[in-house]
Structure 1
């Protein structure tokens, strides 16, 4: 066995000794504080680089009572809608010196773990909830909460909320298909509040146009397999619809597979529109028209709410509602 000792991480004291300054001056340099002589600042930076020193986040948190970290809870890593939300969140939090930890509600609960407890064990400063979490899971979080999206949680919790108008988005999708000349329009839906809002908007648009709403899958989930099954159910009842509106892009991908299996090409025979304008919709293979709820802006506004709440913890809860838009690609044809 080798007699060499295990390498030790350099400490702030090592940096101070190497730079020939005090520990407190090293702390000032790490905080980018003003009024530090440039020569000493450069000496500290050189010592940090030479030693490979990394400041201890735990020590910084202990001193400031902050970890400069935010927990983001999402429903399902398999659905790429959250990618833009995370990008928007980080576009604001990164420059402010915050890190973001992400947890998947589906995976954590399936493993018997409470993801909120996990975040709190990491001493996050705030939570952004982009999932349909049970209210009891969040009620005693004791950190600022921001609800991102249509979650139905704000009625039961003291939380800031930023969401897109999913009811308006569902109406937009149906009206876009109606304006393209489609009449028999199937809607693939699922459980959960966002799907319910989108379904309501679709129903309202169809009723206003004097058309029968054709809704399938309300008792199932909203992933690709659910879209495939829902489309199969729809085709059994409506053998050749003019168009399909799926509650999200993942369901639209499943619907596309079911349509192709049935010999119905998109958009030549059936038009198809999704929801979320996720990276999936922009893939060249799909080129899926989709309703854009502006998830990146939802993420950025959620981050701004977090920072504002940390600065003003007693301010009244805020609610921001964003308007969705339709992004046209090549999955909808004009009849």
Structure 2
């Protein structure tokens, strides 16, 4: 009776089983299946195909923890987004997931701001830190992470400069000033719809976006600025409920700058359901990209970064796949206006 060399053995399939079935050395199988198939040690194209075919046939699943200890790679990209219902984060995650799978990398989303605690005890090939500027000691925590085993850090920050990690600098300060000027040209009052960050140091009014809005109001002689800010609980559903109440009350706005894309979507839905004509009776501008898949009515007008999700994904994939010690790079993302149906100037004037 001839035994099938690719027949699945009993128990857990090991790397040695794959190497034996493919007729290669353990080292060659390791190189092929650990994401280092581009190395000469991985053998010819035919050898790599034999190893992959054997692994697939046997149902081999690599031990990511052991692989991380052996190679310094964790097999994944961590996105520290802090929330799960922001369309911006959902679109970024989708883009990174699609790009990362090609390189045999998984995508993990951290839905809170405890990124330092998590990453200090985890192996990751790359990690995007998005809340550095808004948590206590954010820059210092980033440097401490970089000084450990994390050479694949990408810091989303308007405060930091590249060190051993990349920095994506993308500040909407000027965009908010432009949005205010655009709406103020047609309205006596411009409002800001913002999440309540009372749980963060300084609260909402210490956030750079709120500060930029208050500066714009002050430059136009409007105020008091704080009275122009309408705070609502965080989250898409919570924003919708609060926006519906706002639009039904005596303080109904005519021109609103929204702190984030998900808030703009929630306000637009609330206005449409209330029968408020957009943009005739209410103009909305989002600060931040609004993915088309999240829009329920006409496209929102927003200030954002062209091709932002693909650009961020490329930076992360590059950091995840190139593990050499190298200086960090600065990536500057400029903001521009993308007109939609929620403003009266569709030509962007």
Query: TM-score per shorter chain, which class?
Result: 0.7 to 0.9
Aligned CA RMSD, in angstroms, stands at 4.0
The 5 Å alignment of 1:176-325 reads 176-178=182-184, 181-190=186-195, 191=197, 196-209=207-220, 215-217=228-230, 221-224=233-236, 225-226=238-239, 229=242, 232=245, 238-239=251-252, 241-256=253-268, 259=271, 264-279=276-291, 283-294=295-306, 295-296=308-309, 299-300=312-313, 302-303=315-316, 306-307=319-320, 310-312=323-325, 315=327, 318-325=329-336
Specify the alignment match of 2:25 in structure 1. Answer: 22
Q: What is the distance in 2 between the residues matched to 1:263 and 1:248?
A: 23
Q: CA 1:48–1:262 in structure 2 vs 1: closer, same or farther (change >3 Å)?
A: closer
Matched positions, count: 315
If the length of structure 2 is used for normalisation, what is the TM-score?
0.71
Q: What is the distance in 2 between the residues matched to 1:43 and 1:304?
A: 27
Specify the alignment match of 1:168 in structure 2. Answer: 174
Q: CA 1:234–1:310 in structure 2 vs 1: closer, same or farther (change >3 Å)?
A: farther
In structure 1, list runs of 5 or more residues that go unmatched.
1-5, 107-113
CA contact (8 A) 1:92 1:303 kept: no
